[in-house]
Chains A and B, each alone.
Chain A
């Protein structure tokens, strides 16, 4: 492999680093998307198989379809807030503050649902169990939403605190990171919608 040397550089430009980070985040989104695909597959597979008619055994209560959608509303608002803040820089700090608060509320609401699941029964020994495959699948969607809430809240809190400090080393790279965060916000919104859509099929 023939080469010639050009100039002495040890640090890449912020644009290069930013593009690299965007690609990295998108690849992680692919991995997360594959995870979501697998749980959606599980949902529809067991629902259609309906082994022993136990997808939703008779008498088992479920959440209303609306709750699946309410719980992902913060993801949608975070996505919109981020888009707005990208156009109007002065709104960045309040948008991220609002996003963090909403995500915490969303996480609390998801946790509240988990604590009040109507489909947990008890066996003869008093041991709780998830009554039906619907119930089993629902809990893994709730867990995925919680994971998305925690990661997304970490990002929005970070962007908020960094925005407050305002003395960051590299404004160009910071701008890129705002954009890269946007890829994640878009994904968690899409993932949330897919989750809500899937869990609407009882």
Chain B
């Protein structure tokens, strides 16, 4: 094996286009301009409408709408201002006036030779964007995880009152939406950006500037979401059902703005990844030679492209109800909460698979490498992903069985939902078939594969209970549902992402992830996770409702068990974070291909050159031909 030095690969001089504004803009200028835009907008609207704070604290409901207008506009002004300040609009503006960016300027934007500074700039290099996403995801998981710990601490005993009920409501909602956003990008963000273009032999993403845009747009949503705390929180849970969301306090505006901004980021990122995979694969990489992670990530983002705009519409309609007194969800003026529920879940259920598929696909990428066998039935894996994606748009109303909306459709939606277990079963078949009679190399990535099979089996089977209308009559709105979706989202998708991180960490950082710390974190997380959510299944099956700050004595044992499990997960995550930071700074230098994998990303050195490959590769065999000659 080759050991690589950390000397920058590029020996080119740092491009420094003279008199170009691009060289002066960074995250700092973006923040300053964003705050400036926000402050100016705030004061202009305040001058127009009067002080929103005085009005709000005085509970003058006739002017609540002006408060909402002011807050929403201020948030969007921040987001837009930040993008102006960091230079995101220079490219479009230069195109508009017919003075395209020069080659030097484009090279500068790619961050060539700029060291650590490029991580704080509007950098178009997909590897930089991948690292930005990785740090962003870890931050979101940290924030969401802290809220989870607070929730579980509040539930440690009946009547613990660790936080006030109204704060608990906000904790549940903000934990939910923070984690949903983190989970949507947890695999496709870091690995879809950093690794995937190299895996397909591309020099970069199809639209490098849009790639940077997708990250920085998302970045602007993070402070907006966090501002919900300072605006009184959200009382609605992450689903933000109307008409409660219409009537909620100013914190709800932060939620709406976050989702709208995030939907823009997702559309741009989805378009970019899909185009890259379709149009920029290396010569010889036919569709049946595309690595399975690439297929999974592409299906996932392609599913997100049509799914998220409906969520955006639901949020815009809520925003209009709150700001200019429309009545989309107000029955007095002809609106209906069912409209919101439909729009939300038309997005909401595909979104589950947008989260899940890349994680599973990453584990399918890992399994053949660590058992030294070909991926079992590549075609079945594709059929599984495609089947799930196709069916996912036909199952949304199973979230609404108990809402009273179209009871006559409960039967059909039950059938489509239960039918989705068929393509899901294919994914298990592929993984178990790959492991069958193999001799696994039990490193951290491989442990994640086994953990996934256990966790997702429980998550999947309990989902069948919930898809069944009679069983859902009893279980709906209980902790059983909470435990189920954590088994799918955390047990499957996050486990897959952690496996992917351990697998690709050497390529992304040039160093090996600390073995001992990662094993400790793995067992703390997995044991804690199962204790936490098996306990929650018990409480839910016994009837404990979800999203309630207190509970009856009958559920005390199950909740105590769950909280102990939660602390174990929290501790495991801290150990994992330590392992990541420590290994990144001073871990063992990684060889070029530490796992002996056959995909293209392992053929390039670290640091990966700006254009990835000095010479474009030509693919002549499939990526999983372990134990057999190339064909």
Residues of A within 8 A of B (CB): 1-10, 16, 19-21, 23-24, 27-28, 30-35, 37-39, 41-42, 45-46, 49-55, 57, 125-137, 139-140, 143, 154, 157-158, 161-162, 164-165, 168-169
Scan residues 163-214 of chain B and give those whose CB is less than 8 A from a CB of chain A.
201, 203, 206-207, 210
Instruction: Contacts A2-B620, A51-B336 given; indicate if A34 touches B307 (C-beta within 8 A).
Output: yes
B11 to nearest A CB, angstroms? 15
Task: Write the nearest CB–CB distance from A120 to chain B, whole angstroms.
Answer: 9
Question: Chain A CB within 10 Å — which of B96, B272, B312, B598 has the most?
Answer: B96
Q: Which residues of A contact B309 (CB under 8 A)?
A: 31-32, 34-35, 38
Known A1-B289, A2-B630, A7-B615: A30·B342 in contact at CB below 8 Å: no
> Which of B201, B267, B280 neighbours the largest number of chain A CB atoms within 10 Å of its CB?
B267
Please tell me which one of the listed residues B95, B283, B600 contacts residue A158 in the complex, with CB atoms under 8 A apart.
B95
Query: CA separation between A146 and B600, bound complex, in Å?
Result: 45
Q: Which residues from chain B contact A8 at a C-beta distance below 8 Å?
A: 614-615
Complex alpha-carbon distance, A49 and B622, angstroms: 54
A31 touches B620 (CB 8 A): no
Q: Which of B33-41, B320-328, B355-363 contacts A (4 or more CB under 8 A)?
A: B320-328
Tell me if B62 counts as interface (CB < 8 A to partner A).
yes
Known: A31-B308, A135-B326, A168-B100. A49 touches B614 (CB 8 A): no
Bound complex: CA of A157 vs CA of B65, how far in Å? Answer: 36
Inter-chain contacts of B270 with A (CB < 8 A): 27, 31
Q: Which of B603-631 contact A (CB under 8 A)?
A: 603, 611, 614-623, 625, 630
Distance in angstroms between the alpha carbons of A29 and B619 in the assembled complex = 32
Q: Roughly how many angstroms separate A3 CA and B622 CA in the complex, as a whole number?
A: 10
Q: In whole angstroms, how far apart are the Cα atoms of A35 and B100 in the complex? A: 31
CB distance from A29 to the nearest CB of B (A): 10
Is B313's beta carbon under 8 Å from chain A?
Answer: yes
Contacts of B210 in A (CB 8 A): 24
- Given A10-B611, A45-B339, A54-B334, the answer on whether A24 and B275 have CB atoms closer than 8 Å is yes
**Smallest distance from the beta carbon of B564 to chain A beta carbons, Å?**
44
Whether B620 and A4, one on each chain, are in contact in the complex, defined by CB atoms closer than 8 angstroms, is yes
With beta carbons under 8 angstroms apart, the residue of B65, B275, B611 that contacts A23 is B275
CA distance A160 to B559 in the complex (A): 66
B317 proximity list for chain A (CB < 8 A): 42, 136, 140
The answer, among A10, A127, A137, for a CB contact under 8 Å with B325, is A127
B333 touches A27 (CB 8 A): no
Q: Of B95, B283, B334, B619, which contacts A133 at CB under 8 A?
A: B334
Give the residue among B97, B207, B271 with the most A Cβ atoms within 10 A. Answer: B271
Question: Would you give 20 A-B contacts (Cβ < 8 Å), ordered by A?
Answer: A1-B625, A2-B620, A3-B618, A3-B620, A23-B206, A24-B275, A32-B309, A34-B308, A45-B336, A46-B336, A49-B338, A51-B335, A57-B334, A127-B325, A130-B324, A132-B327, A132-B333, A136-B317, A165-B98, A168-B100
Q: Taking the complex as formed, is B310 at the interface, i.e. its CB lies under 8 A from any CB of chain A? A: yes
Kindly list chain B residues whose C-beta atoms are within 8 Å of the C-beta of A9: 616
Evaluate contact between A35 and B615: CB separation under 8 angstroms. no
**Shortest CB–CB separation between residue B620 and chain A, in angstroms?**
5
With A54-B333, A161-B97 given, can you name 18 additional A-B contacts, CB distance below 8 Å?
A1-B291, A1-B599, A2-B621, A7-B616, A31-B308, A33-B306, A34-B305, A35-B310, A41-B342, A49-B336, A54-B327, A127-B62, A130-B326, A133-B328, A140-B316, A158-B96, A161-B96, A164-B98
How many whole Å from B586's CB to the nearest CB in chain A? Answer: 32
Asked if residues A34 and B306 are in contact (CB atoms below 8 Å), the reply is yes
Max count, chain A CB within 10 A of own CB: residue among B291, B325, B342, B616? B325
Tell whether, in the assembled complex, residue B325 and residue A31 are in contact, meaning their CB atoms are under 8 Å apart. no
Contact A46 B279 (CB under 8 A): no
**B332 contacts the other chain (CB 8 A):** yes
Q: Which residue of A lies closest to B66 (CB)?
A: A127
A161 and B98 contacting across the interface, CB-CB below 8 Å: yes
**CB-contact partner of A129 in B272, B291, B333, B339, under 8 A:** B333
Task: Report the nearest B residue to A53, measured CB to CB.
Answer: B334
Residue of A nearest to B304 (CB): A31
Minimum distance in angstroms from B199 CB to a CB of chain A: 9
Q: How far is A38 from B335 in the complex, measured between Cα atoms in Å?
A: 15
Which residue of chain B has the shortest Cβ distance to A166 in the bound complex?
Answer: B98
Docked-complex contact B271 and A35, CB < 8 angstroms: no
Q: How far is the CB of B350 from chain A (nearest CB, A)?
A: 11
**Which of B206, B316, B614, B619 is within 8 Å of A1, CB to CB?**
B619
B274 within 8 A of A: yes
| Chain A residues positioned under 8 Å from B100 (CB to CB) | 168-169
